[in-house]
Structure 1
């Protein structure tokens, strides 16, 4: 198997911004991949102001297979596009790594093995959320439950299968370039928008159960709200660009912001607040069920985290649809290069 893995070349891309607490550990954890694969790492830094660049300077002296790339546009989509534009011509696959996540030591090797076995143009993975402080643990509990993820397979885990979307991991560089790379108008949900174009172009996405990654959620309410507000805006951008419809699991939280606005009419008639109360009761009831039936002591707090996520996602979506940036970007045609 090791010889088969070295039959292709891999570019490992790590978008990064102020990751002094994580970047060294993430790169160290990929050391086996550099040995087992004909691979190099590119850290695309969006202008870190902490000690990230000092740490990277030391790593670069010790490891010739690691490169540092400035990403003046700062966002993750631009980071990956830039890395592929600068270095992708020498590689067969690109593997995207989140600096704020944890990966098995054989993560990259498992992805390449799956790509070679299935012939997939993209291999995506499941994602488990883990927290440490009380609020972060509760948010992780929410995000790992149907209350927070709506049953999304790349959140809950599933058997390996062909899919239309998942947490981005590995992509064939020729396919990435053929559809124009990530749309840099998307600060959030650039992966879902990319997968939409990937399928339109006839490429295939494989969800593997052979490996996964661990994600650490926001540790307080404000950042969590802003994150999901951005996710909502990104989903709306995708809708406006492609006229794609939200899935059933997205339609329910989509209604949260409107029913919250409707509740303001309770001063005129009390029935206006009933839909909001039903949603709140459903969330808290699910949290109570997790506490009683699953033995999760933070079940009710997880329900609060889920409510923040629902409301923020819905508010972001409707803000973009009703009054956001209406500029639509079109996917590049086959053979066009990603932005540099």
Structure 2
């Protein structure tokens, strides 16, 4: 089924210092004018690099693209602002990230799936790709079950209804009726929205036709910060909605606690206490070396280290938010608010 041109679509692209990615992302994303009626709003959170100049160059040659300042800076705010200021004809909102390249027909497929699947939201799969040696290693980790825990939207998957995925398209009326993204929580806004959507009776459809190529962080330090935020946000969502964590979300926490317990026990029982974390490190690092030999790409030897950073950083963020929410709840109980 071809997308209906009558369903006006607003593509919202949050941006912040994306000079290395945004031009390619926009070029790959723009649909043909005769397939769907659309506008593309780049919501910039205050870029200090050449992002604005690059986008303004595109705006000069394509009136459908607009550069808009996002004073609240976050991705959540960008989507909420876009939902408010978009063309009044807008029936469908589409979220697009700068760190990605989109397959042909991406917008058309999302619009089509939103209608044909009778869903409130369409999500897509993503595969990580790299340009630099470190980015390629990180991408390999993110594409593997060791790195993503078997998350359905991380890689090729069959179409069908899911509880979460990489956000793509929304029915605008539904998005606004649920209050959009929760801007009080700076991370994991997509999963938090999906929880509210499911509670309201909405359905989320994974469209397997539209797998995007995602460019991960290009340094281990930025990867650690990103996954710390992911873990913090996931804990916040679970606590807010009274949800139970999945096994893939529990395992990184177990790994981090194993490191902590081994460090504490070491002075008392000796080196034997270090065997569990040492075994985990050996497994991850050996896996990275295996990848390097299998694909004849030496840089992939760093994939094991990337996986370790992802696991431990995610767990640290998760535990911090879990302890924060427990403390906040205790304070409310003492003050008689709950």
**TM-score (normalised: structure 2):** 0.90
Q: Confirm whether residue 300 of structure 1 aligns to residue 301 of structure 2.
A: yes
SS state of the match for residue 90, structure 1? coil
- Where do residues 108-257 of structure 1 align in structure 2 (5 Å cutoff)? 108-257=107-256
Say what the alpha-carbon RMSD is for the aligned residues. 2.1
1:325 to 1:106, Cα distance in 2 relative to 1, 3 A: farther
In 2, Cα distance between the equivalents of 1:324 and 1:71? 29
SS state of the match for residue 181, structure 2? coil
1:337 corresponds in structure 2 to: none
2:20 corresponds in structure 1 to: 21
- Where do residues 53-132 of structure 1 align in structure 2 (5 Å cutoff)? 53-87=52-86, 89-132=88-131
1:327 to 1:91, Cα distance in 2 relative to 1, 3 A: farther
Q: Confirm whether residue 50 of structure 1 aligns to residue 77 of structure 2.
A: no
- The answer to whether the 8 Å contact 2:122/2:205 transfers is yes
CA deviation after TM superposition for structure 1 residue 55, in Å: 2.6
1:268 corresponds in structure 2 to: 268
In 2, Cα distance between the equivalents of 1:54 and 1:293? 42
1:332 corresponds in structure 2 to: none
How many residues matched?
Answer: 327
CA deviation after TM superposition for structure 1 residue 323, in Å: 3.6
SS state of the match for residue 26, structure 1? helix
Report Cα offsets for 1:22-71 as digits up to 9, x if no partner. 32332233333444211111110101111222233333333221222211
CA deviation after TM superposition for structure 1 residue 324, in Å: 6.7
In 2, Cα distance between the equivalents of 1:190 and 1:53? 25
In 1, Cα distance between the equivalents of 2:165 and 2:230? 15
CA deviation after TM superposition for structure 1 residue 285, in Å: 4.0
In 1, Cα distance between the equivalents of 2:8 and 2:77? 22
- The answer to whether the 8 Å contact 1:147/1:286 transfers is no
CA deviation after TM superposition for structure 1 residue 90, in Å: 2.4
1:326 to 1:61, Cα distance in 2 relative to 1, 3 A: farther
Which has the higher mean CA deviation after the structures are superposed, 173-182 or 265-274? 265-274
Stretches of structure 1 lacking an aligned partner (at least 5 in a row): 329-340
- The answer to whether the 8 Å contact 1:5/1:37 transfers is yes
2:11 corresponds in structure 1 to: 12
CA deviation after TM superposition for structure 1 residue 236, in Å: 1.1
In 2, Cα distance between the equivalents of 1:298 and 1:25? 25
- The answer to whether the 8 Å contact 2:99/2:216 transfers is no
2:287 corresponds in structure 1 to: 286
In 1, Cα distance between the equivalents of 2:291 and 2:49? 39
SS state of the match for residue 211, structure 1? coil
1:132 to 1:117, Cα distance in 2 relative to 1, 3 A: same
CA deviation after TM superposition for structure 1 residue 294, in Å: 6.4
In 2, Cα distance between the equivalents of 1:327 and 1:34? 51
CA deviation after TM superposition for structure 1 residue 327, in Å: 6.8
Stretches of structure 2 lacking an aligned partner (at least 5 in a row): 330-338
- The answer to whether the 8 Å contact 1:15/1:80 transfers is yes
Higher relative contact order (CA closer than 8 Å, sequence separation 6+): 1
- The answer to whether the 8 Å contact 2:29/2:101 transfers is no
Report Cα offsets for 1:211-251 as digits up to 9, x if no partner. 11111111111111111011111111112211211101111
Report Cα offsets for 1:84-133 as digits up to 9, x if no partner. 01126421111111012111231101111222221111111100100122
1:313 corresponds in structure 2 to: 314
